[in-house]
Amino acid sequence: MFSWLARIAWACWKPVRQYARMSKEEVEDSSIEDSLVWGRDLEKHSYGEFSFAVVQANEVIEDQSQVETGNHATFVGVYDGHGGPEASRFICDHLFLHLMRIARERGTISEDILRSAFSATEDGFLTLVRRTCGIKPLIAAIGSCCLVGVIWRGTLYIANVGDSRAVIGCVGRSNKIVAEQLTRDHNASMEEVRQELRTLHPDDSHIVVMKHGVWRIKGIIQVSRSIGDAYLKRPEFCLDPSFPRFHIPEPIRRPVLTAEPSVYSRVLQPNDKFVIFASDGLWEHLTNQQAAEIVHNNPRAGIAKRLVKAALNEAARKREMRYDDLKKVEKGIRRFFHDDITVVVIFIDHELVGKNMTVPELSVRGFNDTVGPSSFNIIQGLM
């Protein structure tokens, strides 16, 4: 314990002693190229280009993500795990395939099909929990936020559980960019979420509790929707007092969390220029408008890394640190300064919408630097 605390203290103390607000030039010159940062500066998709970046903070990265490209469709997934990486990894391995299977069966893409893909993924992970909880009880306390976007036939479909966020940048008057949030944050910090939970659980006075200055559901978790977190959904997965962090004194009568996504769709308009998909590690440090202006006012290549860099600069500033010193903090310890952060920026080039462009069918997994053939070819018949 002393060694762990000493490492944190050292990481904090030295930068504070050396702190001075970085000039704009220093920010621009500093590099985020280190072993904890991964990115693909610019790739093609069926409606334009995309940029992708991930930075690791946890000892084992809990963010998982993917971009799937095909000739007529683009898929984005951002999965922000908590309690461990198992749920986010499971989603990355299964949700897109469920979506493609259901889309092939029904011959289309729709909001209902997105809901069905989420439900199938949730059922699959809870089955895994049931099979393994005897030897690994804490798998019942592992879950993940899940943000998915699909562009198909000129329509953008979004589905979300948790507090990852999709923000679209639209050009308004005087060529100024306007940020519009497309997702709803399912987080107990939001008054509307707390009210929703109280309405659903009128007999539970402890459904939301303020703990250490933070609103938490049952005093444990902030997000109200997730995939996984089986112990808060079914009594059979409740954890006993030997796991005090996740123990609930009274068995749950009904699910406390849900995997039902908020779903949104819109036909893309000429003033819709890009969509930012990101885990909450980005939004903790940047507003929607700040992120949109960074994308709008800078070159496309490497823009996802630029957003990550802006968030890390802000995280360093909040701790009165130099950014270059934050980069030297190792994974695990780094989690005390910022979260894992995943960013995907999808640019929309309207001159390509509706045209039969030849685009490489690629499956890109965040942080793993793996690129393989996409599974979009299994539904080419409905494209």
Mean pLDDT value of segment 46-68: 94
Percent helix, strand and coil across the chain, each to the nearest 5 = 35, 25, 35
Question: 3-class DSSP state for residue 229?
Answer: coil
Do 221 and 214 meet the contact criterion of CB atoms below 8 Å apart? no
Rounded CA gap, 197 and 257, in Å?
Answer: 9
- Shortest CA distance to 89 belongs to which of 367, 280, 379? 367
Task: Tally Cβ neighbours within 10 Å of residue 309.
Answer: 21
Position 62 pLDDT exceeds 50:
yes
* CA angle, residues 37, 158, 52, in degrees to nearest 5: 20
Q: What is the mean pLDDT of residues 181-190?
A: 95
Exposed, middle or buried: residue 63 (CB in 10 Å: 0-12, 13-18, 19+)? buried
> How confident is the prediction for the chain on average, in pLDDT?
87
pLDDT confidence of residue 173: 79
Strand partners, 44: 49
Q: What is the mean pLDDT of residues 67-93?
A: 95
pLDDT above 60 (res 182): yes
pTM reported for the whole predicted model: 0.88
Taking only the tens place, the pLDDT of each residue in 191-230 is 999 999 999 999 888 899 998 899 999 999 999 999 999 9
What is the Cα–Cα distance from 383 to 155, expressed in whole angstroms?
Answer: 13
| Predicted local distance difference test score (pLDDT) of residue 356 | 62
pLDDT in tens, 106-132: 999 999 999 999 999 999 999 999 999
Of the candidates 142, 122, 146, 120, which has an alpha carbon nearest to the alpha carbon of residue 132? 142
Distance CA 51, CA 37 (A): 14
Which is more confidently placed, 19 or 348? 348
Please determine, for residue 50, whether its predicted confidence score (pLDDT) is greater than 90.
yes
Judge whether residue 1 has pLDDT over 70: no
User: HEC profile for 102-118?
Assistant: HHHHHCCCCHHHHHHHH
CATH hierarchy code of domain 30-187+223-382: 3.60.40.10
Domain boundaries, the chain: 30-187+223-382
Instruction: Please count the other Cβ atoms lying within 10 Å of the Cβ belonging to residue 111.
Output: 14
Q: Is the pLDDT of residue 9 over 60?
A: no
| Residue 108 · residue 99 · CB < 8 Å | no
361 pLDDT more than 50:
yes
| From 162-176, 283-297, 340-354, the region with the lowest mean pLDDT | 340-354
